[in-house]
Chains A and B, each alone.
Chain A
Amino acid sequence: MIEEGKKRVWSDYQKEIPDDHYFYVRSCIRQSFFPGSEQFFLRFMRDILGKDFFENPSHTTCTGIGYHADVVPFQTIQTVVARHFALMKESGYKNIAISCVTSFGIYTEIIETWKHFPQELEKVREFLYKATGREFDVPENMAHTSDIIYKFRDEIAAKAKNLLINKKTGEPLNIVEHIGCHYAKMFPKYGVGGAEFPRVLSGMIEAWGGKVIDYPERRHCCGFGFRQYLVQANRGYSLSNTIKKFSSMQPYKPDMVLTNCPGCTMLMDKWQYTMKEMENVVYGENGESIPVLTYEELAGLVLGYNPWDLGLQYHMVQSEPLLRKLGIEYDPDDKYKTSDGRQMPIPENMINV
C-alpha cells in the first residue's frame, strides 16, 4: 500500500517519453551557437540507438524569441507552430522532439491554450488554412530533446568511456545543473520531475557518475529575459542575474555547469567572459572560469566522442580543465580543423587556455 501511495503521489512528476519515431525540430540558438550538439543528438539516436528522427528542411523558427520580446502576437505564433504540426502530419509523425526550451515552452503554452480555449484552436485552423492551405493535428507527445537523452541515460552509462569522475582523486565531479525557466516553470506536467523536482539533468549526472550540487540560487533565471538581452541598453539585467547565480554557486566549487536551454548555455558561457574582461572576476578555481556544457556535449564526452566534433572549441570558456579532470585525451591539433582536415586560424584571447 505504501508503495502504491508513493507511486500515486509521484505520478504527477513522471513524464511519458516515447521510445522512437520523432519529428525533430531545431532551435535557432542551439543551431547557431551549439551546432555540434544537434549533430551529436541526431547521429547518436539514428546511428547508435537506431532510432527514427525525421527532419523537414521546411521547418522554420517558431518565432518564440519575437513572441517573448513582444513583437509577435499570440495568434501569429500559434499559427506558425500549427504550421510545424502540419509539416509533422504531412510527414506521418505523431511525436515531436524539440531542441529548444523557449520553443518547448511555447508549444506547451499553445497546446494548453487550445485545451482551455477550444475556440482558439478552431481559429488557428482557419488562419493556417487561409494562409497556407495546410491542415494539422495536435501532437500525441512532445519531448524536449533532453527528455530523450534522459530516457536513454542508462544506455549511455552502459556504453560510457568516461564517467563523470575526477581521474586523479577518484571523486565524482561537482556539477551544477541549470534547467531553464520555460522547460517546466510554466506547465510543470510537461517536464521530467515537474517544476519542483526537475530530474531531467540531475538524472543524467547521477547516471553517469557525477555529483549534483545544490546551491541557493539553483532555480534562478539565467537572466536572458528576451528584450533584456536583445537590446543593448538592457543587458545589465541579464548580466546581473547571471552574476547572482555564479556568485551563489561559487562556494560549492563546481567543475562544470550542465544546461538544458541553449539560450542559458550561451549566456552562462559569454557572461563569464564579460566578467573576466570587465572586472577580472572568475568563478572557478585556480583562476579559471567554469565550463558550461549542453547535455548533448556532456553525453558525447561520456561516450568518448572527440570534444572537437562536439563543438566545445566554439564556447568562450574552453573545456580543457574539465577534460583534464575527466582524464580525456584530446588532440590539440585537431581543435580548429575543417570537416576535410584543413587547418583553420587559431582564435585568440579565449578563456581557460
Chain B
Amino acid sequence: MHDYSKMLMEDIRFEEGLHACMNCGVCTAICPAAEFYDYDPRKVVDLVQSGNNEEIEKLLKSETIWYCGECMSCKTRCPRGNTPALIIMALRTLSIKLGFFTESEKGRQQFAIKRTVGENIFKYGYCVAAYAVSPEMHREQGPIWEYIINNTKDVYERFGGHVKVPGEGPLREISDEVRQELKSIFDVTGGTEMFNTIEKHSKKKAAEMGLQYKKDGIDNEYFIEVFTSNKKKHTI
C-alpha cells in the first residue's frame, strides 16, 4: 500500500488547503454539495488529517470525493484558512493517478468529461464552444439552443463572430499551430499523461462491466453508461 498522505503532500493544493482543522463544520454549513448530496466536507478533512492510510484509500475509491462542485465557498469561511475544496482536488487527482476513480459511479464520469470538455481543448482550442454543445445532450438549454445551433453563422455574425474562420471575435478558428502549442503544453506538463491514465483505466473498467468501449468519441456503451447512470443513492 502507498503512503497516501505523503503522496497528497506532493500536491501543493493539499499543502495550501490543509493547515490544521478544528472540526467546527463551517465548511459543511456553507457547502452547496452538502445540501443535496450525502456529503460532509468536515468529515473528509478530518479523515485526511488523521493520516489513516487505509481509510484514505477507501476515500480515494469512494463516491464521496466526487460530490464537491468546486465553488470554493469553503475557502472564504474557514476560520483556520483551510480550503476543503483544494483537498478534494488533490484527492481527485490522486484517485485518477492510481486508477481508483473507476471504483465509484461518480468517479467513472471522468471518462465522459475527458471525452467532451477535455478533448474540445485540442479539437477547437476551447473547453466549451457553441458547436460542441449538442442540444441532444443538453435538453435543459431549451429550444433557443437548438435554434442557435441550426443558425450558427447568422446568429454569431450579428455579434462580430467569425465562426470557425481565422481572426478576432467570438468562436473564431483557433489555428492548427496554436492548438499544437496547447498539445505540447499538455505533453510537457502531465496533461496528456492524465488523459491517457483516464483512458487506460476506463477501458479496463468497461471490459469488467461488459460494456462496449471505443477508442474515440462518445458513441459507445461505456460513455453512455457513465454520462447518464445514477444507479446508486447519492443523496441524503
Query: A residues bordering B, Cβ < 8 Å?
Result: 26, 28-29, 31-33, 35-36, 38-39, 42, 55, 57-58, 60-61, 63-66, 68-76, 78-80, 83, 105, 113, 116-117, 120, 127-128, 130-132, 181-182, 185-186, 188, 195, 219-221, 223-228, 230-237, 239-241, 244, 270-271, 273-274, 277, 309, 311, 314-316, 337-339, 342, 344-345, 347-351
Q: Mark B59-75, 1 if CB is under 8 A from A, else 0.
A: 00000001111111101
- B36 and A233 contacting across the interface, CB-CB below 8 Å: no
Q: In the complex, what distance in Å separates the CA atom of A349 from the CA atom of B189?
A: 47
- A237 and B159 contacting across the interface, CB-CB below 8 Å: no
Residues of chain B within 8 A of A182, CB atoms compared: 71-72
A79 and B37 contact, Cβ closer than 8 Å, known pairs A185-B76, A232-B227: no
> What are the 5 closest A-B residue pairs judged by CB atoms, nearest first?
A225-B69, A76-B191, A31-B170, A35-B159, A131-B184
Q: Interface stretch among B19-27, B40-48, B49-57, B105-113? A: B105-113
Q: Mark B145-160, 1 if CB is under 8 A from A, else 0.
A: 1011001001111111
Task: State which of B130, B157, B181, B195 has its C-beta within 8 Å of the C-beta of A132.
Answer: B181
Task: State which of B66, B75, B142, B147 has its C-beta within 8 Å of the C-beta of A273.
Answer: B142
Secondary structure call for the A interface: helix
Residues of chain A within 8 A of B106, CB atoms compared: 234
Q: In the complex, what distance in Å separates the CA atom of A241 from the CA atom of B189?
A: 35
Number of B interface residues in the complex (CB < 8 A):
87
A185 and B71 contact, Cβ closer than 8 Å, known pairs A66-B121, A225-B33: yes
Q: Which residue of A lies closest to B168 (CB)?
A: A55
- B71 and A76 contacting across the interface, CB-CB below 8 Å: no
Q: Which parts of B70-105 form the interface with A (CB within 8 Å)?
A: 70-73, 75-76, 89, 92-93, 96
Residues of chain A within 8 A of B167, CB atoms compared: 57
Secondary structure call for the B interface: helix
- B130 and A32 contacting across the interface, CB-CB below 8 Å: yes
Query: B residues bordering A, Cβ < 8 Å?
Result: 11-13, 16, 32-33, 35-37, 66-73, 75-76, 89, 92-93, 96, 106, 109-110, 112-114, 116-118, 120-121, 125-130, 133, 137, 140-145, 147-148, 151, 154-161, 166-168, 170-172, 174-175, 178-179, 181-182, 184-191, 194-195, 198, 226-230
- B140 and A60 contacting across the interface, CB-CB below 8 Å: no
